[in-house]
């Protein structure tokens, strides 16, 4: 396997969540290339199961210009572990907490240009948090119904597809 050596790295943009970096790299054959890297702190996603149904959230995603149906998720805050993030996001987005947590997997959604890693957890034993309001509209759906929506392209979100595959 050939590697690359970073010769120079420039930060082009620093936003609230992401940074854009331009790296000049040296290849093993002596050539140089430019790499555009989106630096992301990572995220946690939750596959919340309640009475044999998956709890999904609906939200508008400006990047694709439409509402999506997906599992709850959110960006890691500074110093926060993926598990802490998952627990916080489940409460914030749905108003539920879970008594049982299982680590399912972690993956890079776009490793060609982004450092983002998404950690996926299964949550069960869901209970409403007293006084908590869900930030997003919630839908309960049987796993086979979610699978059908994935097959038809109604659900195209990678973390949702991977999370569902991990629990079936």
How confident is the model over 85-123, as pLDDT tens digits? 999 999 999 999 999 999 999 999 999 999 999 999 999
Q: What number is the average pLDDT over the span 61-78?
A: 97
Helix (H) or strand (E) holding 111: none
Q: What number is the average pLDDT over the span 146-157?
A: 98
Which has the closest alpha carbon to 142: 70, 52, 79?
Answer: 52
Say how many residues make up the chain. Answer: 168
Q: How far is CA 103 from the centre of its chain?
A: 14
Helix (H) or strand (E) holding 115: none
Q: What number is the average pLDDT over the span 132-146?
A: 95
Q: Where are the beta strands (DSSP E) in the chain?
A: 4-14, 19-27, 32-39, 43-50, 53-61, 66-70, 73-75, 96-107, 118-128, 138-142
Both tokens of 76, joined, read: 């890691």
Place of tokens 């034993």: 125
For the domain spanning 43-167, the CATH number is 3.90.79.10
**β-pairing, 53-61 with 96-107?**
unpaired
Residue pLDDT, tens place only, 23-67 = 999 999 999 999 999 999 999 999 999 998 999 999 999 999 999
Task: Measure the CA–CA gap between 20 and 27, rounded to whole angstroms.
Answer: 21
CB environment 107-139: b (16+ within 10 A), e (fewer): eeeeeeeebbbbbbbbbeebeeeeeeebebebe
| CATH 3.90.79.10 domain residues, the chain | 43-167
Let me know: does 123 contact 46? Beta carbons within 8 Å. Answer: yes
Q: What's the chain's average pLDDT? A: 96
pLDDT score recorded for residue 86: 98
pTM for this entry: 0.95
């Amino acid at each position: 396997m050939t590697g690359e050596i970073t010769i120079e790295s420039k930060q082009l943009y620093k936003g609230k969540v992401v940074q854009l970096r331009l790296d000049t790299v040296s290849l093993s054959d002596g050539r140089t290339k430019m790499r555009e890297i989106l630096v992301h702190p990572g995220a946690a996603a939750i596959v919340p199961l309640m009475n044999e149904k998956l709890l999904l959230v609906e939200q508008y995603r400006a990047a694709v210009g439409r509402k999506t149906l997906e599992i709850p998720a959110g960006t890691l805050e500074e110093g926060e572990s993926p598990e802490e993030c998952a627990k916080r996001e489940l409460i914030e987005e749905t108003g539920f907490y879970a008594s049982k947590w299982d680590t399912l997997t972690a993956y890079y959604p776009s490793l060609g240009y982004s450092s983002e890693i998404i950690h996926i957890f299964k949550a069960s034993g869901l209970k409403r948090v007293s006084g908590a309001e869900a930030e997003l509209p919630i839908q309960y759906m049987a796993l086979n119904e979610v699978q059908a929506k994935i097959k038809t392209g109604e659900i195209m979100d990678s973390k949702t597809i991977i999370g569902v595959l991990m629990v079936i």
